[in-house]
Structure 1
């Protein structure tokens, strides 16, 4: 997409869709609060930039020669999401109640790094061209990521504040774990379907 407005709308639409990173950001907003969750924003942004860079530079070239590479990439992402879901379920908010929280910088970075949305950003939304062409779009993308991430943190925080005793750290962690498991099944299922077709 070479039109900045179309690019911005496509990025916003994709970022706004609930996904594994958004689930973690909302859970952090609900348990750690808005200000403490802001430390996760560079993790999401860094995860997307590393993923998109690798996808464009390495995976794109490999996928042209080897059609199994995108399938393998999706399976790796699915396995990581399963691991993250099991960890969140097992901890069930214990770390959140102690103040450290299982939703760490590293977890958000890795989840974003393996987020299948990066595939769509890299191969369907970002324009093709040299670095000078991509830089303005990269800046716009970064701003939109930060804005939408803050929205998910605010949403999680608002849900926690208005749900009184119904929303506990354990319930938030388990809800986030279930959401991550659903995403893992969806990604893994699509990879297996592609492998079998």
Structure 2
């Protein structure tokens, strides 16, 4: 069983990273835009499967290397912090419209592979998930349950967002404004992550 503090930090960190735009969320929004909520909703299953595989692999690799390389977890956190800062700056300067995202045939395999290769998985495994999650099955199952309970509604929200854009109901929403808000959230998270490394 995870301590309450670890579970709360896992939930908060996972929610922040899952909400921010990225390759998987862009594909989910584009699928909602082109297919509608009903047809695209199943894609959250592919997203969940991709993250479960990737986080599990990275988590176990990092857990086994943490003992002989005691500095590795701190290095991963610092690298994650810098990567998030880079994403925040890049997102601030880019005004990407979801309407211009690849919308052809976004299927289960496309979304699974995109999520499997998503750099966010390393961030989840090395920073957001507590080390205990990869040390025992009960802690692992609890952590993955918390993560899954957050991923599904957030993924559906991205699909719904894309569907609403497709219907023209969100004319007041500018993709540039969405990305700038996400950039501020990412920047704040990057600073808090860096603080945990240097304090």
Q: Verify: 1:155 aligned to 2:157, yes or no.
A: yes
1:137 counterpart (122, 139, 146): 139
**Structure number having the greater helix percentage:** 1
Deviation at 1:178, TM superposition (A): 3.6
2:55 is the alignment partner of 1:48: yes
Q: Which runs of 5+ in 1 are unaligned?
A: none
Instruction: Name the CA shift for 1:52/1:84 in 2 (closer, same or farther; >3 Å).
Output: farther
Is 1:112 aligned with 2:120?
yes
Are residues 151 and 12 of structure 1, via their aligned partners in 2, closer, same or farther at CA, if it must alter by over 3 Å? farther
DSSP 3-state at the match of 2:152: helix
1:49-68 to 2 correspondences below 5 Å? 49-59=56-66, 61-64=68-71
What secondary structure, in the 3-state scheme, does the structure 1 residue paired with 2:16 have? coil
2-structure distance, mates of 1:38, 1:65: 32
- What are the Cα deviations for residues 43-68 of structure 1, in whole angstroms up to 9, with x where unaligned? 22223223322432325653448965
Which residue is 2:183 aligned to? Answer: 181
Match of 1:18 among 16, 19, 26: 16
2:61 and 2:159 map into 1 onto residues whose CA distance is 33
Equivalent residue in structure 2 for 1:165, among 168, 184, 192: 168
Alpha-carbon separation, structure 2, partners of 1:66 and 1:29: 31
Deviations 1:17-47 (A, max 9, x none): 332x333465544431312343222222223
Give the TM-score normalised by structure 1. Answer: 0.60
Which secondary structure does the structure 1 equivalent of 2:46 belong to? helix
Matches of 2:58 and 2:5, distance apart in 1: 18
Secondary structure of 2:20's aligned partner: helix
* TM-score (norm. length: structure 2): 0.60
5+ residue gaps, structure 2 = 32-39
Alpha-carbon distance in structure 2 between the residues aligned to 1:179 and 1:8? 27
Aligned residues: 184
**CA, structure 1 residues 122+159, in 2 after alignment: closer, same or farther (shift >3 Å)?**
same
Closer/same/farther in 2, CA of residues 189 and 90 from structure 1, 3 Å limit? same
Summarize deviations over 1:143-182 as a string: whole Å, max 9, x none.
Answer: 33333211112223344555641448x955x566445533
Q: Distance in 1 between matches of 2:188 and 2:160?
A: 28
1:15 and 1:192 mapped to 2: Cα distance?
A: 14
